[in-house]
A = this chain, B = another copy of it.
Amino acid sequence: MAEKITKREDDYSQWYLDIIKVADLAEHSDVRGCMVIKPYGYAIWEKMKDQLDKMFKETGHQNAYFPLFVPKSLFEAEEKNAEGFAKECAVVTHYRLKNNPDEAGKLMVDPEAKLEEELVVRPTSEAIIWSTYKKWIQSYRDLPILINQWANVVRWEMRTRLFLRTAEFLWQEGHTAHASKQEAIEETEQMINVYADFVEQFMAVPVVKGLKSESERFAGAEETYCIEAMMQDGKALQAGTSHFLGQNFAKAFDVKFADSDGKQDFVWATSWGVSTRLMGALIMSHSDDFGLVLPPKLAPIHVAIVPIYKGEEQLKEIQDKLQPIMAELRQKGLTVKFDDDDKRRPGWKFAEYEAKGVPVRLAIGPRDLENGQIEVARRDTREKQTIDIDGVVDHVSKLMDEIQDNLFNSAIDFRSNNMTKVDSYEEFKEKVEKDSGFYLVHWDGTAETEEAIKKETKATIRCIPLDAPAEEGKCIYSGKPSSRRVIMAKAY
C-alpha cells in the first residue's frame, strides 16, 4: 500500500478511482467497459447480497433463474421497454467460430453458423420472464408470483466508470405478478422500503424515497419508485428502483388470469433491482483521503490484529495472550484477521488495513503485553486509544455499533448541510453551478420545464419525495403553480 491517494478536494473523480485501487476492489478488464471484481471487492458485494437475499426471502420471495439471452422478437414485444434499451444491446448473431483459412492459429466467425433470429444479451429480464409467466399463469390461484433473480446483465455504455456504470454488471431483479393493481402497487412500495432499510441500516447511507418524473421512469413502467443518496461531492446517486409496471408486460405477452368468478383480466406486474452500483455508493459515502471506510455490517474483516514482535518467542507470547480474545470476538460474529505475515512491517500493515477500511485495528507489542494493554484504532474517526487488554472484547464489540451509527449520522449531517430550498431560478442556477447538493424546488410538473432546466444546468429531477409535505408554490422555471417540492441535483 505504497500507492498515493488523490485528495477529494483536489480531484474527486480521481480520488474515487484511487480508493478502488488501494482497497483492491476492482479494475478494468481487457473487455471494453467490463470490470473485474477483485476478491476484496467481491467479498463486500457478497455481504450485500446475503443480506438483501435474506430480506427478499423474509418478504416472501423465492429465487429462480432465467436465460441470459432474449430472442429479438420477444425483446421487441413491449415497445417502450424495447425502445429504451435497444441502443445499448449486445447482440449474439452467430453460434460458432472456425479456423481462419488465411491466418494459421486464428479463428473467425463461421458465416454458416448465423442464427435465424438474433439473441439480445439481457439488459433486463422483463421480456424473457413475462414470456415464461404466460405459461405459469391461468387463474388467480397461480398468483401472486414473487420471484427474484441474481444475475449479470449487459448494457453497452459508451462512458464507463468502475461500479457506477459498466457494460456488464451484477444485480438482482425481482419480477412479480399479481391479481390486482392495488396488490402490485403495495409490492412496489414494499420493495422500495426494503431497499431503503438495507441501504440505511447496512450501508449506513441515508436515502430519500421518492417517485421519478415521467421522463426518468424505467422504460415500460407506469411508476418508478427510487431511493436517492447524496455522495460526498453533493451529487446524487440512484441506489435502487422499484417499478409498478401496470399491465404493460401482461398485454405485450398476453398474460391473463381468471379471477374467482372466472372473469379474465391481464396480470399486474412489478420489477425492482439493485446492482453492483451500490458498491460505488458505499465507497463514495464514507471513504476519506486515507482509503476506504466500511460500515461494520458489510466489512469482510471487522478486526485486524497486528502483532509487533521480534522473533518467534515474542510472537508466540502475543499469540497465546490473544487466542482466547480472538475466540471471543469470533463468538460474537466478528471476523478477525491476525496478521503475522513477516514479509511486511507493522507500518505497512497499518496503512493497508486503513486503505481497506477495516473498522478496527488492534496492535500489540511486548511492552503492551507487559502492561496488560493493547492499542485500538478505529477507522472512521482514525482515533487511537490504549486500553486494558481485559476489556478489549467488550470495547471492540461496542465500537462496531458505534462506528456503524457514526457513519450513518455523519452522512445524515452531511446531507442536511447540503440540502437547500431554493425559490428563484437565478439563485438555483448560481448555486447548482458552484456547489453540488440536493435542491428542493417547485416544479410545474411538465417534461418541457424539466428538459430546459437539465439543458441549462445539468441538474435533473432526482425524485418527488414520498414524504414531501403539500406546499403551494411556483415553479422556479415557468412560474406556474406547484403543490410540492421536488429534489433537483446533478447525478451519477
A→B interface (CB under 8 Å): 27, 29-31, 34-39, 42-43, 46, 62-72, 74-76, 79, 82, 86-99, 105-107, 109, 118-121, 128, 131-132, 135, 141, 147, 151-152, 154, 156, 168, 170, 343
Contact = CB atoms under 8 A, between A and B. Distances in A.
Contact of A42 (B64, B87, B95, B118): B64
A96 B87 contact: yes
A30 B131 contact: yes
Nearest to A40: B62
B105 A79 contact: yes
18 contacts: A29-B67, A30-B74, A30-B128, A39-B62, A39-B64, A43-B62, A46-B63, A68-B154, A72-B107, A76-B105, A82-B107, A86-B99, A88-B96, A90-B92, A90-B95, A93-B93, A93-B94, A121-B121
Given A90-B95, A91-B97, A152-B152, 15 more contacts: A29-B66, A31-B69, A36-B64, A36-B65, A36-B66, A38-B64, A39-B62, A68-B121, A72-B107, A76-B107, A88-B96, A89-B95, A91-B94, A93-B94, A96-B156
B88 A65 contact: no
A68 B155 CA distance: 12
A121 B152 CA distance: 12
A82 B74 CA distance: 32
Contacts of A88: 95-96
Nearest to A105: B79
A70 B36 CA distance: 12
B97 A72 contact: yes
Contact of A34 (B67, B106, B151): B67
Nearest to A127: B30
A29 B147 CA distance: 16
A68 B107 contact: no
Contacts of A170: 65
A132 B35 CA distance: 11
Contacts of A29: 66-67, 128, 132
Nearest to A134: B30
Nearest to A62: B39
Name the prevailing secondary structure of the A interface residues. Answer: mixed
A93 B91 contact: yes
B119 A90 contact: yes
Given A69-B31, A89-B96, A94-B93, A39 B105 contact: no
Contact of A63 (B35, B39, B152, B168): B39
Given A68-B168, A168-B67, A95 B156 contact: yes
A68 to B, nearest CB: 5
Contacts of A147: 39
A47 to B, nearest CB: 12
Contact of A91 (B71, B92, B128, B343): B92
A87 B92 contact: no
Nearest to A107: B76
A125 to B, nearest CB: 11
Given A96-B86, A96-B88, A42 B62 contact: yes
Contacts of A92: 90-93, 121
Nearest to A77: B105
Given A87-B96, A95-B89, A97-B87, A30 B109 contact: no
Closest 8 CB pairs of A and B: A34-B67, A39-B62, A37-B65, A86-B97, A95-B156, A91-B94, A31-B67, A93-B93
A121 B135 CA distance: 28
A36 B67 CA distance: 6
A36 to B, nearest CB: 5
A87 to B, nearest CB: 6
B63 A107 contact: no
B31 A128 contact: yes
A82 B100 CA distance: 13
A118 B64 CA distance: 30
Contacts of A141: 343
A66 B154 CA distance: 13
A37 B96 CA distance: 26
A89 B97 contact: yes
A468 to B, nearest CB: 38
A75 B107 contact: yes
A87 B82 CA distance: 31
Contact of A31 (B119, B151, B156): B119
A166 to B, nearest CB: 9
Nearest to A131: B30
Nearest to A72: B107
Contacts of A128: 29-31
A290 to B, nearest CB: 24
